[in-house]
Amino acid sequence: MDRASFEVLEGEFVAIVGPSGCGKSTILNMIGGLVTSSAGAVLVDGAPVTGAAPRHVGYVFQKDTVFPWRTVARNVALGLEYRGVAGPERARRVREAVALAGLAGFEEAFPATLSGGMRQRVALMRTLVVDPEILLMDEPFGALDTHTKLVLHAELLALWEARRQTVVFVTHDLSEAITLADRIVVMTRRPGRVKMVHEVKLTRPRDVIALRESDEYAREYGRLWHVLGEEFAYPQGGHPQGGPSK
Amino acid sequence: MTDRARVNLWRVAILVALLGGWEWLTGIKAISRTPGLYWIDPFFISRPSAIARRFVYLASGEVRLSLWQMALSTVQSTLWGFVVGVSTGFVAGLVLGRNDRLARVLEPYIIAFNSLPRIALVPLVTMIFGFGLLAKVVLAWTIVFFIVFFNTFQGARAVDADLIHSARFLGAGERQIMRTVIVPSALAWTFAALTPSISFALIGVVVGELLGGESGGGLGYLITQSLGTLNAADMMVALVSLGAIGIVMALGIKQVERRLLRWRPEYRTERA
């Protein structure tokens, strides 16, 4: 990555889009302290990120990271368990979160019995139940089918409207970025640079289904598609600085 | 007929055919009415009827050391060897599995010790621990430890890094990660080692008993004793008993495994 500089405001929903291999996930991992940058820095509230997994940061991975040996309820309880929240308080918060995720009745189910969408709901609620101020999401719905994805978009937006965490959401799905984000950071192909930061002028709260048919959505999509299209247009071998970005 | 009933029927049929064939073949004389000349001599492999009679006799109170006492001694040593071997192997596997440098330092020693034929250790173990329970447990341990160790070691290394990361983001400290991510993750690997471990614990114990004589006790002693008296029937009694012990222990482990790994898809459907 190179000169990938942008700002995220408190309570803002920012999406990062770009071709694969451009370092989208690396940016997220830098914010989460999982990798350190060779040059440059990530500042949160003015202070550089040091050490992995800062306390106020929640991370939802693309991969299924629900613990298969724990039931839904005990997966959701993990963060509270780690932070020493116990007894009726923990039980209450878990119950609420499970209900909020639409998983009531599945408390005692093991993940292997759930669909991919349900598992990702568990992962999301498990992260939200400890109330992170910053939520990092790395293509969390990338493995889901279009319909399930839309349902989860609606659910994520509803949850976010209620709490207004600062969200950094990595995706390569442009429609997903437009549906969810306030601003979209468009990255160039490797070596990843910030090509532009685009403000999504769609009002909130958004209806994820109706939105797709609106003219505003089509306009946003058209503009971004054009910008992003330039990045995909280059012949892959024609770039002098290939090689892995991580 | 259900599938299960059919399987059981076949199992019984094979048993009956085996025992019947054995009994029949060892009863055919090579030259009629001449004693001692058989096509297949029961002197060497005995006959089911003779084995059953010896079984009843040895299990009765008429002998000084009954079959039950010998079996109990073998089972006891095996369980001890198993429990000690599994627990130490598990802990060692976790520690080395999560500590790359230590694992690399110890690697040659572990491989060297593991490649020793365990039977070569018997005289040394006997010198140090004598012939009793302790020696047998130690022999079982030397085998079980490594089986469980290697599997747990692999399991602890194979833990998905993203699971550890997500635990960390949820606020887990190192000990919590060990308890809630690495141990449950490695357990699936450890369990794969338990059924062979029981068999190998039994091997270690019986080897100890074969050499231990009467003070070692157990079914291995029954075997050496039978060799001394050239009594194939008694040997068969001991072998059948060992087989039965092995089956019961393996089934017990399967139950524990089914309980502890019930989150795995392959155990869900078997509940009925």
pLDDT tens sequence for chain B (272 residues): 789 999 999 999 999 999 999 999 888 877 766 666 777 888 889 999 999 999 999 998 788 889 999 999 999 999 999 999 999 999 999 999 999 999 999 999 988 988 888 888 888 888 899 888 899 999 999 999 999 999 999 999 999 999 999 999 999 999 999 999 999 999 989 998 999 999 999 999 999 898 877 777 899 999 999 999 999 999 999 999 999 999 999 999 999 888 888 888 877 654 43
Please state the pTM of the whole predicted model: 0.81
pLDDT by residue (tens digit) across A196-219? 899 998 888 899 888 888 998 999
pLDDT band at A22 (very low <50, low <70, confident <90, very high): confident
Residue A242 lies in a domain: no
Cα→Cα distances A60→A119, A164, A185, B58, B262, Å: 12, 16, 19, 66, 26
Which residues of B sit within 8 Å Cβ distance of A? Answer: 160, 162-163, 165-173, 176, 180-181, 184-185, 187, 261-265, 268
Cα→Cα distances A184→A52, A205, A228, B132, Å: 25, 17, 11, 75
Closest-CA distance, B265 to chain A, in angstroms, reads 6
Residue A241 lies in a domain: no
Measure the CA–CA gap between A53 and A182, rounded to whole angstroms.
25
For helices B232-260 and B48-59, the axis angle rounded to 10 degrees is: 80
Give the domain extent around A70. 66-130
What letter does residue A104 receive in the DSSP assignment?
T
Check: CB of residue B50 under 8 Å from CB of residue B106: no
Check: CB of residue A107 under 8 Å from CB of residue A72: yes
Nearest Cα to A98, choosing from A117, A124, A80? Answer: A124
Q: Which of A65, A70, A82 sits opposite B171 (nearest CB)?
A: A82
Shared domain check, A144 and A29: yes
Residue A189 lies in a domain: yes
Give pLDDT, residue A233: 66
Classified by CATH at the fold level, domain B64-271 comes out as MetI-like fold (1.10.3720)
Q: Is B163 in contact with A58 (Cβ distance < 8 A)?
A: no
Give pLDDT, residue B164: 93
Residue A206 lies in a domain: yes
Closest-CA distance, A65 to chain B, in angstroms, reads 5
pLDDT band at A27 (very low <50, low <70, confident <90, very high): confident
Give me the total of CB pairs closer than 8 Å, taking one residue from chain A and one from chain B. Answer: 70
Residue in chain B closest to A69 (alpha carbons) equals B263
Nearest Cα to B219, choosing from B250, B245, B195, B198? Answer: B245
Helix residue ranges, H only, A39-188? 72-76, 78-82, 87-100, 116-128, 146-163, 174-180
Shared domain check, A225 and A167: yes
What letter does residue A192 receive in the DSSP assignment?
P
Residue A35 lies in a domain: yes
Shared domain check, A103 and A149: no
Among the candidates A96, A130, A164, a domain finishes at: A130
CATH code of the domain in which A152 resides: 3.40.50.300
Give pLDDT, residue A191: 79
Q: Which of A63, A78, A112 sits opposite B264 (nearest CB)?
A: A112
